[in-house]
Chains A and B, each alone.
Chain A
Amino acid sequence: MRKRFIALIACGALAATSLAGFAGCGGKTDLTVWGPAAQQESLKEMVKLFKEENPDINLSIGVGVCGEDQAFSQMSNDPQSGADVFAWANDQVANLYAIGALSPLTSADVTALQSRMAQSTIDFGKLGSKYYGYPYSADNGFFLYYKSDVVSAEQAKTVKGVLDACKAKKVKFIVEITNSWYVNSFTFGAGGTYDLVRDETDGTIIKEVQVNFDQKAPESEYTYGQLGSQEVADLLHDSTVVVGADDVIDSYLSSEEVGAIVRGTWKADDIKNAWGDKYEATILPDWTSSLDGETYPWYSFAGGKLYGVNSYSKHVNEAHKLAAFLASDKMQEKRFDDNSICPASTAVAALDKVKANKAISAFMQQQTHSVVQIAMPDNYWSEGDSLGTFLKTFTGTATELQTRIEQYVTALKNAATKTN
């Protein structure tokens, strides 16, 4: 009423025409759902299926575009006009919670999820003591792709093997290790840990950042950070290694100058198309530190994507129903069929056709050598990038490296909210 009134004062005829649009809605349940651009067609079909399954509700569902990693930036401007149901990546949970954009799941919803997937997967949507999303994909991680006529299965087990094999054939090994997503993967492999202690009631408040990169690894005279970062620096100085994003991979694939790639499932199709029957995927290789001569595993991040419900939705119950449907086993299977998206459900992952997908089974194996990607504060990414830039040109001693690691750790710890 108020709105209409001031609208008339302010804008007269213009507003009147726009208001005419609102007059039409009756007993319909209007929902909007946002999903990633690449899955639009698939999502539209899923919405159609949902309508067919729920003939008792008079549904009208609009489909919009929003990448899982863009959920916060798109929601934050005005959560009240955001979509009712939207896809988001698990590292956004704290930010989305802060703007009140996530409606929590009931315990019944959580129980239903527990019968279908691992607790660690359900935890993607956890903040404080509540759960905020229905996981539909656990595909956020990286592993090794290799070309079987360059690298043998045996050589693919160690970094040195991969490098030697590539060197022998004069092709490259592409890994984007200066990027903050990858830069600590050796440090984690050596035993480094990073964790956040959040406030119980307000999940947006970080009380403490627990990070041990600057501490000595057991039975070693070096710290986790030294071991991992030295390996990054070593790789960066190896002429066989190319640091590059997806487009670089494309370019090297087209000129057939690459023998091994570290990347996630999203690049699987391109690599498969280029390599044909020589295409292989497996767990990340082990590496031997140039500092202490020990061999350590190479760790990946593990993260996932979820469908969540906007807590400002006018039809919360229907919206939850839709979100749960979009994350159901059947839809996860459809998503796998349509877009080769790695499922979150254990039942779907166990299907033969999923197992036959080399990339996804490599990803599944990698789970044992993974660190769950929690909702990192922004500085984790900016500091990681900055460390990566530093390592590009680093040629100093282990002590100098340790100084930089200590700086890095101090910076990471800054993310904790200071209380006066």
Chain B
Amino acid sequence: MAKTVSQLDYLGMSGWQKFCYNFLQFLKKLPVAFLSIFTVWIPKFARKIYNSVKRFFLTLWNAARHGDWKTRMSFLVMGFSQFSRKQIMRGLLFLVFEILFIIYMVAFGAAQLSMFGSLGVRDTIQGGEDPVTGERLPTVVGDNSLLILLYGILTMIFIIAFVYAWYANIKAAYAVQQYVEANQHLTTAKEDLNALADAQYHKTLLAGPLIGLVIFTIFPIIFMVFVAFTNYDMQHMPPNKTFDWVGWANFKSLFAGGLSGGTDFGRVFGKLLLWTVIWAIFATFTNYILGMIVAIMINKKGIKLKKLWRTVLIMTIAVPQFVSLLLMSQMLADEGALNMLFGTSIPFLTDPVLAKVTVIVVNIWVGIPFTMLMVTGILMNIPADLYESARIDGAGPVRMYFKITLPYVLHVTTPSLISNFVGNINNFGVIYLLTGGGPSMAAGGSGGAGETDLLITWLYKLIQDKKQYGIASVISIMMFVLTAVISLIVYNRSKAVKNEEDFM
């Protein structure tokens, strides 16, 4: 396995060696880290869940056994214990929540949930005509699996929230009882409010953002995970046709090759995954290395008009990126401005190989300014006495660059480099606006994928054009796992290196 170097050896390495060593270590750790999902994270998570469930029931059991009638009443009427012990505000909040939940379930939730298992059974019956009278018949709209799934998940989220609130209510009810029995002070509404501006301030601050997170990020993700287990595709478009649960069929068809749509999804997935990784490596490192070179050139002593050069480059950041990219796609088209102006006909965006080069080059054009800015900031932070002492030792500019500048920059930017890598895996804009994924792949079913398509733009096509929601969900789950694991490793590693608390 990976040979680890001692602390001393590591410190003795040159900048490049350190960097390469770190990067190799990272790559070597990747498979292990992936495995660790199953060997470490999942067991850890399972243990946590087991503990929580245990605590959940223990608390309930304790409250039921040792609680007085007021506490026991709280099992049915939330907030009762607090009410009866004069914690009016808390009690009221619990009670209102319970009432709202019951109304919701009776009026809406229960019905939705009851259809969740089948996702609806009635297909839409298209109108057509009455065979006898020749009159037009109205369309009978069937069950909409999509909405059933959506509302079902929504209802489940509500139920989980309710169960949690109910649990918190019982826990609090019993705690209040104990406080009263021990003659301890019960917090008043005013004290509660004050706490929310101090010790509990994070609750006040995070409540809003987290509700947004649940509704606009977590809920849709749960939805798509469920969709991955359905046959939601062109043949099953709600409300025209209901779709059904199909278990792991989509996962199988992705990895066993060819099922619906007549295309070999697995093969295309593999091909695009390879290109996505190649693209991410090139896009990240070209930007990084070239951006650093440009930054060093601009910041070199004796170069004048520093501000001008920087400003010119910053144009690509200041002008909205979609404008820049749309413009580029027009200029580089077969009959675009560049070919027109120079009277050439270079297929920048339509030749399979050249198009790949073009997107990388345009990405450099878009990306260098960001690296340049970042590196400029770092260069200014390098302590001047480092250079001074090197100069006294008689080091030339080249040696100083390799001995001081490069190691320093590499050390500081490694985390951002790898997060750029992850960002480039999901770089939708550049490909979508420049080539739209084109040119088309050579013969062989390709699921609509083009030569420059990344997995993410292919996903978009699968959904927008082919309506292959089931398979697309599976692919997005795979990508999600891939990128999430890489970033988790990177961030947690870099945090371990320089502990957060050190700064304070």
> Is any CB of A less than 8 Å from a CB of B in the complex?
yes
Q: Which residues of A contact B (CB under 8 A)?
A: 2, 5-6, 9, 73, 76, 79-80, 95, 98-101, 103-104, 106-108, 130, 202, 204-205, 243-245, 247-248, 251, 311-312, 316-317, 320, 378-379, 382-383, 385-387, 389-390, 392, 404, 407-408, 410-411, 414-418, 420
Listed residue (A2, A101, A251) with the most chain B CB atoms within 10 angstroms of its CB: A2
Bound-state CA distance A386–B351 (Å) is 10
Q: Could you tell me the distance in whole angstroms from the C-beta of B113 to the nearest C-beta in chain A?
A: 14
Inter-chain contact A76/B134, CB cutoff 8 Å: no
Q: In residues 411-462 of chain B, which contact A (Cβ within 8 Å)?
A: 438-446, 448, 450
Collect the chain A residues with CB atoms within 8 Å of residue B235's CB: 98, 202, 204-205
User: Which of B217-225, B255-263, B489-497 is near enough to bind chain A?
Assistant: B255-263
Whether A312 lies near B263 (C-beta < 8 A) is: no
Q: Which residue of A lies closest to B123 (CB)?
A: A100
Question: Please, could you name 6 A-B residue pairs with CB atoms under 8 Å apart, sorted by A?
Answer: A5-B108, A80-B141, A101-B240, A382-B448, A407-B444, A417-B260
Assuming A103-B127, A410-B443, what are 10 further A-B pairs, CB within 8 angstroms?
Answer: A6-B108, A80-B239, A99-B467, A108-B129, A204-B235, A316-B136, A379-B263, A385-B439, A386-B439, A386-B440
Cβ 8 A contact of B129, one of A98, A104, A390: A104
Say yes or no: is B100 at the interface (Cβ < 8 Å to chain A).
yes
Q: Which residue of A5, A130, A204, A243 is within 8 Å of B234 (Cβ)?
A: A204
Say how far A33's CB is from chain B's closest CB, in angstroms.
18
Closest residue of chain B to A132, judged by CB? B126
Contact A2-B107, Cβ < 8 Å, known A76-B467, A98-B237, A383-B440? yes
Residue of A nearest to B330 (CB): A247
Contact B139 A5 (CB under 8 A): no
Is the pair B262, A418 in contact by a Cβ cutoff of 8 Å?
yes
Asked if A320 and B240 sit within 8 Å, CB to CB, the answer is no
Please tell me which one of the listed residues A5, A101, A248, A411 contacts residue B445 in the complex, with CB atoms under 8 A apart: A411
Residues of B within 8 A of A99 (CB): 237, 240, 467
Q: Which of A95, A108, A385, A410 contacts B440 (CB 8 A)?
A: A385
What distance in Å separates the Cβ of A72 from its nearest Cβ neighbour in chain B? 9
**Quick one: closest B residue to A101, CB to CB?**
B240
Chain B interface residue count: which class? 35 or more
- Complex contacts, B128 vs chain A, CB 8 Å: 104, 106, 130
Does B347 reach chain A (CB closer than 8 Å)? yes
- Compute how far the CA of A390 lies from the CA of B446 in the bound complex, rounded to whole angstroms: 16
- The chain A residue sitting closest to B100, CB to CB, is A9
Choose from B124, B351, B439, B448 the contact partner of A378 (Cβ within 8 Å): B448
Task: Tell me which residues across on chain B come within 8 A of A414, comparing CB atoms.
Answer: 262-263, 444-445
Cross-interface CB contact of A247 among B103, B335, B440, cutoff 8 Å:
B335
* B446 with A382: CB separation less than 8 A: yes
Q: Which residues of B contact A247 (CB under 8 A)?
A: 335
B340 adjacent to chain A (CB < 8 Å): yes
Output the residue of A316, A382, A404 with the most chain B CB within 10 A. Answer: A382
* Contact assessment for A108 and B134 in the assembled complex, using a CB-CB cutoff below 8 Å: yes
Whether the pair B126, A103 counts as a contact (CB closer than 8 A) is yes
Whole-angstrom distance from the CB of A130 to the nearest CB of chain B? 7
Q: How far is the CA of A5 from the CA of B135 in the complex (A)?
A: 37
**Chain A: minimal CB distance from B234 (Å):** 5
The distance in angstroms between the C-alpha atoms of A312 and B238, with both chains bound, is 12
Distance in angstroms between the alpha carbons of A390 and B350 in the assembled complex: 11
Ranked nearest first, the 8 interchain pairs of A and B with the lowest CB-CB distance are A100-B240, A407-B443, A106-B129, A386-B440, A414-B445, A411-B443, A382-B440, A385-B440
Q: Which residue of A lies closest to B135 (CB)?
A: A106
Q: Are the C-beta atoms of A98 and B234 separated by less than 8 Å?
A: yes
> Is there contact, CB below 8 Å, between B124 and A100?
yes
Residue in A73, A108, A248, A417 whose CB lies within 8 Å of B262: A417
Q: Is the CB of B263 within 8 A of A316?
A: no
Residues of B within 8 A of A80 (CB): 141, 239
How far, in whole Å, are A104 and B440 apart by their CA atoms in the complex?
35
Least CB distance, B153 to chain A, in whole angstroms: 14
Query: B244: CB under 8 A from chain A?
Result: no
Of B240, B444, B464, the contact of A98 (CB 8 Å cutoff):
B240
A411 touches B108 (CB 8 A): no
Closest approach, in angstroms, between the C-beta of A253 and any C-beta of chain B? 13
The answer to whether B443 touches A107, judged by C-beta atoms less than 8 angstroms apart, is no
Of chain B, the residue at the smallest CB distance from A378 is B448
B466 CB-CB contact with A under 8 Å? yes
Instruction: Tell me the minimal C-beta distance from A111 to chain B in angstroms.
Output: 10
CB–CB B262/A251 < 8 A: no
Contact indicator A5/B107 (Cβ below 8 Å)? yes
A247–B260 Cα gap in the complex (Å)?
38
Cβ contacts under 8 Å, A101 to chain B: 240
Which residues of chain A have C-beta atoms less than 8 A from B356's C-beta? none
Bound: A251/B234 CA distance, A: 41
- Enumerate chain A residues within 8 angstroms of B138, measured Cβ to Cβ: 316
On whether the beta carbons of B234 and A312 are closer than 8 Å, the reply is no
Is B443 a contact of A404 with CB atoms below 8 Å? Answer: yes
- The proximity string for B residues 227-239 relative to A, scoring 1 for CB distances below 8 Å and 0 otherwise, is 0000000110101
With both chains docked as a complex, state the minimum distance between the C-beta of A201 and any C-beta of chain B, in angstroms. Answer: 12
Complexed CA–CA distance, A55 and B467 (Å): 42
Q: Which residues of B lie under 8 Å from residue A417 when comparing CB positions? A: 260-262
Q: Known: A100-B126, A414-B262. Is A408-B134 also a contact (CB below 8 A)?
A: no
From residue A99, how far is it (CB to closest CB) to chain B in Å?
Answer: 4
Residues B335 and A248 in contact, CB atoms below 8 Å apart: yes
A312 adjacent to B139 (CB under 8 Å): yes
Which B residues are CB-close (under 8 A) to A106?
128-129, 134-136
How far apart sit A245 and B259, CA to CA, in the bound complex (Å)?
A: 36
When C-beta atoms are compared, the residue in chain B nearest to A2 turns out to be: B108
Partner of A418, one of B103, B134, B234, B259: B259
B139's partner among A73, A103, A404 (CB-CB below 8 A) is A103
Nearest chain-A residue to B137 (Cβ)? A316
Residue of A nearest to B237 (CB): A99
A150 to B124, CA, bound (A): 59
Cα–Cα distance between A408 and B128 once the two chains are bound (Å): 39
The answer to whether B129 and A379 have CB atoms under 8 Å apart is no
Q: Are B443 and A9 in contact (CB-based, < 8 A)?
A: no
In whole angstroms, how far apart are the Cα atoms of A205 and B124 in the complex?
A: 18
State in angstroms the CA–CA spacing of A416 and B334 once bound together. 33
In the bound complex, what is the Cα–Cα distance between A410 and B450 (angstroms)?
A: 18
Does B352 belong to the interface (CB within 8 Å)?
A: yes
**The one of B237, B262, B334, B442 that contacts A390, using a Cβ cutoff of 8 Å:** B442
